[in-house]
Amino acid sequence: MSNLTRFSAALVLALPAAGQLRLETRAQVIVQVPRAVDRTGVEASLERGGWRVLEELPALGLLLVEVPLTQGLASAIARLSATPGVAFAEANGSGEGGEIVPNDTHFGVQWPLDNRGQGGGRAGADIEALRAWSLARGSAAVTVAVLDSGLTPAHPEFAGRVLPGIDFVNEDADPFDDQGHGTFVSGILAANADNAFGLAGVDHACALLPVKVLNQFNGGTVFDLTQGLVFAADAGAHVVNMSLINYPQTTALESALEYARNAGCVLVACAGNGGIGDADRSYPGRSPLTISVGATTDRDLRAVFSGTGNSLDLVAPGERVPATLRALTDGWTAFSGCSAATPIVSGMAAVLLSVDPTLTHDEIKQRLEAGAEDGVGSAADTPGRDNHYGHGRANLFRSLCLLDTGGPSIVAPAVLRLESPGPGGLSADDPAVIAALKSILAVDDLDPAPRLQVVSPGPLPLGKLVALAVTALDACGHATQRTLEIIAEDRG
């Protein structure tokens, strides 16, 4: 049943003295009935009292109950809480997508990925995506659930990568984006790359699982979000993106977050768009179960709307970020808000998981925070963690390098044995010497093309071992040194 249908069924017409038509809706309450309790008996008791069960979420033992018109919300919660078999009762609150309405449609380059100072930005105020992509570009084995307004599945930017999703707003299996917010978010996170079309996502290889929890007006309910979290967890999502703000902190929603975390999901959420202190107000971002993401500008300054507070973990580009249009056209729009910053971090988490699928939520969080660039913003970006920038501005390249704890391996025998055609040995530029040096390999777990430095051994006298200094360096700056030996031996 859709939100629209659910609300329409409860509409009552009231005609005030002024003669203007006003629509009133019945309140809704979320109650939990533990598995050990006779749920059928509880539901029968509720119906006898005039309550109506609209929906249920068995995985968490939750029921969505409609309040009779004769009762206020507070008294209804009190009565339901006192009902035998009910563990708790709380209002079905609402939230909204964390969007600042975009108004600049001419921002033509993806500065969050590669900021060269275009558009008046500051060079380097980005996540170093180009360097990072030389190490990893994601994997189809990693699934990212986007809990939002849905997406346009036929869009070329998502072709071949969208998994069967769900719509908890309209209660069907078609999470079509009728608002645009979800497509913006999904494009920033995971738009196809190298397809001569549109934009490139942070992770352009992951599988996308669209879960519609926001309606066409960019609003959603606690119950729909709890359903979305449980669905994403049960579907095997590795990362869950929540570009959502201003949901109330409820027992049901916290239970759903715990459910997803216990299932192994990495949870990434908005830090809020209300500025100072909002990271400690806006939910689900303020939950310690999530990675809370604030927003920065193309000059590495905190976006004026970006939420601050103790709950903030890190920041990412989030003002005038180029985003995928809902229309199936080769275009983009500038998108602002923590909703734009959050998918950048979710995409980063997915890339990290493509390198090491065993990483947990806490391990991903630690590497994102440790890899963030600190002290690059305003004076409020003080050394170490602060309430304005968290641990710093996200950097995909640096976070990836934290997965590569050692230098490359040098693959070669301890002694390189060469045949000398005569008693004079071999010169340093002899083809046999050059071929032997080229046979030395460097192999790295992360960098597909580590560099190899070999100091020329000079002339090789016949029968004498000569030390050979070899150094292998990867893109992250890790080095391995090894001393080999090389000898020219009599062919006979």
Q: What order of strands is seen across the sheet that includes strand 52-57?
A: 52-57, 62-66, 28-32, 88-91
Q: How far apart are CA 231 and CA 61, in angstroms?
A: 14
User: How many of the other CB atoms lie within 10 Å of CB of 78?
Assistant: 12
Q: How far apart are CA 62 and CA 28, in angstroms?
A: 13
Instruction: State the Cα torsion 407-410-414-415 to the nearest 10°.
Output: -140
Annotated catalytic sites, by residue? 148, 181, 339
User: How many of the other CB atoms lie within 10 Å of CB of 365?
Assistant: 22
Q: How far apart are CA 139 and CA 359, in angstroms?
A: 15
Q: Residues of 205-227 as b/e, b for ≥16 C-beta within 10 angstroms?
A: bbbbbbbbbbbbebbbbbbbbbb
Kindly list the distances between the CA atom of residue 153 and the CA atoms of 1, 146, 166, 208, in Å, as whole numbers in the listed order. Answer: 22, 13, 12, 10
Specify whether the CB–CB gap between 287 and 242 falls below 8 A. Answer: no
Specify whether the CB–CB gap between 133 and 372 falls below 8 A. Answer: no
